[in-house]
Amino acid sequence: QFLEERVGRRDHVHEVLQVEFGLEDGLADTSTWTDLKKKNKALKVPVGINPDIEPFVQILDPATGTATFLIEVIDVIHNTMVARWEKERISKPEQIKRWNAYVPTHLLPRLYAYELMMAPYAIAHMKVGLKLTETGFTEWDKLGAENRANIFLTNALEPPTQQLDLPGFVALAHEAAAVNVTKRNKRFTVIIGNPPYSVHSSNDIPSMKKLMDDYKQIDGVAIDEARIAPLMDDYCKFLRLSDYLIDYSGIGIIGMITNHSFLTGPVFRGMRHSLKSRYSADILDLHGNYFRGDPARGDTNIFAIRPGVCITILFRSHTRLDTRLTYSELRGPFENKLKQLVQNGRAPCESVKPLPPLLVWTPALSGNDEYASYVSITDMFSVGTLGMMTGKDHFMIAWSKSDMRGRVADLFDRNQPDQVLRVKYDLADSRDWVLKNARAPGLDAKLLVPVNYRPFDVRWTYYHRDCHASPQRRVNDPMLISNNLALCVPRQLASLPFAHCFVTSNVTEMSLISNKTKEANRVFPLYLLSSNDSLFRGENTSNLRMEFLVRLRSACGNGAQYSPSPEEAFQYVYAILYSPNYRSLYADFLKVDFPRLPLPGNSNLFRCLAKLGADLISLHTLKCVKAENNITQMTGNMNNAVEKVSWADDTVWVDKEQTFGFVGVKLNVWNFQIGAYRVCEKWLKDRKDRKLSKDDIEHYQKIVVAISETIRLMSEIDKVIDEHGGWPGAFQAAK
């Protein structure tokens, strides 16, 4: 409660009413709609109210809980009135008398709240009564039924319902009737609170879903998002309800503490566009997001929850015709944030100009026209989707082809009862994987194929749609073409800096780069099958969009004399994604959406980067790494199983006693990450309790060489870019 009272910039809504709306007493102001219209002729009075009687400031907390925000509103109003009376030299006894007259006449009739749960609803009524007593209100016997605290037991997201006959429950019937009248007729101008956060919302209310459709499009064009669930989080619905109610009044202010994901998430861009087009906004981002790794970096949440939070003030006044957006943030330990909030209320603000296509509300991601001008990965490739998901990795992913063949031979053996297979292979049915369906196809040796499971970790699967929860055939069928390649990048990052890029030449699993759901990799093949029935025929067509290739050809500046091939374009893209300076300069952007990449300033730069990209691809597919080039040596008994993986003294040890391992692995190679994985550690840890074969040892030594060379080539990429003018000059055509 202490936090909630102070986190909401306790006087900010009050101040906005004073400054932007011209209401001297802010939340305490009792001016009517007619009073305001005298000051501003353009003010439109809502239909259905008596403007000579109805106070302009009508306050609602749509998810009040135990009325923390209402209590704070009462406190602010009381302090405002006392300060005013003291300025007028009113005596203390007279102030108490005036306050006792103010409460039933001007306070309670303007204060409303909704609460779904009975216990907090009852506590809310009690706390309001205690707070009024604390402020000096004593004339309880003079309050009529119409002067009760307008806290209603209802779901704010539900529309008014038909009046119900509740025999024996007269009080509840009266409550239902009163809330229906409020929902139908009240025009709220101040909406405050801390609504619930729940991405798996149980508020599946048709009228609310229809309202949320406004946040799923921009200027009438639906946003292209496969996973819309985050937009249906309860806090988004409460913001949309508040938005709707202010629209209903035509003017007003919203002040809420919410999850901060809507500030940058791509799926929320329609929501940001809709709100920014009609409201001015002040954002205080309090961070503390567990899912982005904030607490691990010492940036703790102000509440005991995992999502990061922010304070959002949205307002539409009759004095401001344009809309503005300001952003401020607080980072660091909980105690420091609290101290800053209590002492100063807010942090220094920056003006934000949201830019397409994402229209984000943070300055680091909004003001960079340079990055916005680059080409998105999704505008380069025609097709790109999530990688394959088996739904049964322990069964459908095998160490070897023979191992996989044995499993599917059992699977398709009609003499094997289902129950025997379930016990032998732990094959419980799930929503996405059903044993009966998996047993239907029958064995086809051509479908035993290698799968890129993790970086440098190629295993085997049986590639049939009935055997996988999500085979993602659009991107994985083409990987059966000989010598095809695919770029793997996620759309967003959960926490780590961008290192989430890899190349594959096989069918690809969705967690190749990261096993975090948010970082599941999309697969963008270089070539596609030319028809649905051309599997294994080798027929293919480029997956790179012609528009991109035309722009690339133009950027190279040589017209018809030089036309980059799809392979060269792919190599150029891969090189840019492995530029350390690119990853550093655009780190914030790379967290929230697919990478955007610049076109080359000239053909020489393009050729140099394409060559380096080709070298990287050869390394990452282990095509050019030879055993004789090894930089590591084995030490100890190679017949031992992998037990505990660690690093010390340029050696990767695989047992607890550090007697068996790989000598010659530098620290920067050991620490090198692809996506969420420290590769030299991950590859061995996944083989815990297994003995490394001669082929395994040779493969691991190749991985070490590949990573060492990758680090060198990344430096070369930046060197080439610097020689051509650096960022962003190297990517600007000569005039």
- Residue 67's contacts (CB-CB under 8 Å, 6 or more residues apart) are 61, 113, 123, 124, 125, 127, 128, 151
Closest among 194, 94, 90, 78 to 131, alpha carbons compared = 78
* pLDDT of 604 above 90: yes
Among 10-14, 190-194, 573-577, 598-602, whose mean pLDDT is lowest? 10-14
Handedness of CA 435, 436, 437, 442 (dihedral sign): positive
Confidence of residue 227 (pLDDT cuts 50, 70, 90): confident
So what's the pLDDT on residue 517? 79
Q: What is the share, in percent, of the chain residues with pLDDT greater than 70?
A: 92
Three-class secondary structure of residue 188 per DSSP: coil
* pLDDT of 5 above 60: no
Closest among 670, 693, 172, 265 to 494, alpha carbons compared = 265
* pLDDT of 9 above 70: no
So what's the pLDDT on residue 735? 41
The b-or-e profile of 12-39 (16+ CB within 10 A means b, else e) is: bbbebbbebbebebbbbbbbbbeebbee
So what's the pLDDT on residue 366? 66
Among 85-99, 139-153, 330-344, 418-432, whose mean pLDDT is lowest? 139-153
So what's the pLDDT on residue 260? 95
* pLDDT of 712 above 50: yes
Q: Would you give the end-to-end CA distance of the chain in angstroms?
A: 61
Closest among 56, 80, 92 to 186, alpha carbons compared = 56
So what's the pLDDT on residue 10? 45
CA gap 441, 448 in Å, rounded:
13
- Residue 724's contacts (CB-CB under 8 Å, 6 or more residues apart) are 601, 602, 604, 605, 608, 730
So what's the pLDDT on residue 623? 87
Q: What is the share, in percent, of the chain residues with pLDDT greater than 90?
A: 69
Q: List, for residues 479-520, the tens digit of each pLDDT value.
A: 998 889 999 999 988 878 899 999 999 999 999 999 887 889
Report DSSP state, residue 499. Answer: -
Confidence of residue 144 (pLDDT cuts 50, 70, 90): low
- Segment 174-179 shows an average pLDDT of 81
Confidence of residue 95 (pLDDT cuts 50, 70, 90): very high
pTM of the model: 0.78
So what's the pLDDT on residue 172? 63
- Residue showing tokens 């017209």: 559
Report DSSP state, residue 559. Answer: G
- Segment 66-90 shows an average pLDDT of 94
Cβ-contact 329, 284 below 8 angstroms: yes
Mean pLDDT (the chain, rounded): 89
**287 torsion bin: left (phi>0), alpha (psi -120 to 50), beta (else):** left
CA gap 557, 297 in Å, rounded:
46
Cβ-contact 221, 270 below 8 angstroms: no
CB atoms within 10 A of CB 527: 22
Q: List, for residues 454-470, the tens digit of each pLDDT value.
A: 999 999 999 998 999 99
Three-class secondary structure of residue 415 per DSSP: coil
364 versus 266: which is more confidently predicted? 266
Highest mean predicted confidence (pLDDT) among 193-202, 491-500, 603-612: 603-612
* pLDDT of 170 above 70: no
Kindly give the residue spans of alpha helices, DSSP state H, lying in 186-317: 206-212, 234-249, 269-276
Kindly give the residue spans of alpha helices, DSSP state H, lying in 20-148: 33-39, 68-87, 92-102, 118-134
So what's the pLDDT on residue 346? 62
So what's the pLDDT on residue 200? 76
So what's the pLDDT on residue 171? 60
Cβ-contact 192, 59 below 8 angstroms: yes
